[in-house]
Structure 1
Amino acid sequence: MIDLDDTDRALLRALQQDATLTAAELGRQSGVSQSVAWRRVKRLTEAGVIKGRRLDLDREALGFGVTVFLGIKLVAKGHGSLENFERAVSAIPEVQTVQHVLGRYDYRLQVVARDLSDFERVLRRRIMTLPGAGEVEANVVLSEERRPGPIG
């Protein structure tokens, strides 16, 4: 774990809001020079605090109006069955995230679809046919509020 000071936290908060900011813009927002901002971001990246920068797409604008979280319990839980399930589920483009979790279910998936009938198609033809898939619970997202991560 790396120690973060106030400047590091300010840089991270600014990047969370807009990952496309230049070092000059980051420096202005954080009260440091461009070169200090650049060196700090480089250090945070090399330390693994910044894992990358990603593009945040508007799913609805792209025609994906439904997001569903699925809890999936596997029928068998051997090492091979976990690997087979993970490999197969990762090949489904509508599945945005795959999380191996503790609790009632073995996996938690985030699935996007154009509408509920499209989600039903994905569920029946792709997810329910996955190797080892057993019990499934679906939670349809009604609304979503984005919250920044814990920087302090």
Structure 2
Amino acid sequence: MIRRLLCVLAAGVALAGTVGAEQLGPETNLPMPRYVSLKATEGNARRGPSLTHRIDWVFTRRDMPLRITAEHGHWRRVEDRDGQGGWVHYSLLSGLRTVIVEADMLPLHVRPDANAPVEAKLEAGVIARLGSCDARWCQLRSGGFRGWAEKSRLWGVATTELRD
């Protein structure tokens, strides 16, 4: 009983030491989870990290933002905004950042200010290139338009993420 209690206490101390620590990928040493985009027009998501594993899902939208949740060798476990995904070879992924618009007719403002003039409106599901982000706003480019949108209405950028 005492030995079991000591093991539980030791595990609690180990966990307490990692609270707030950023998790890094074992292959890339980059933060996990993190966002990337699909480089190819088609990418197979497999059940495991090798070509011998069955294909569970096929991504068919170039530049789609994906979240990397695990790494193994040259493979990355990814998921889309609906939680669909699997293991994808790293050569199919790009560090180019994109987001998916989650709110229909999302206004793109000329400045990061809700009272600023609107440059354009984006439909839900549009993929846009991600630029700078502050605590509340992100700069986007899509369809020849550039403007600022509220971060909370986008998928593909962390709520606490800041970008220059």
Does TM-score exceed 0.5, indicating one fold? Answer: no
Which range, TM-score by smaller chain? Answer: under 0.3
Of Structure 1 and Structure 2, the greater strand share is in 2
Of Structure 1 and Structure 2, the greater helix share is in 1
Q: What is the TM-score when the length of structure 1 is the normalising length?
A: 0.22
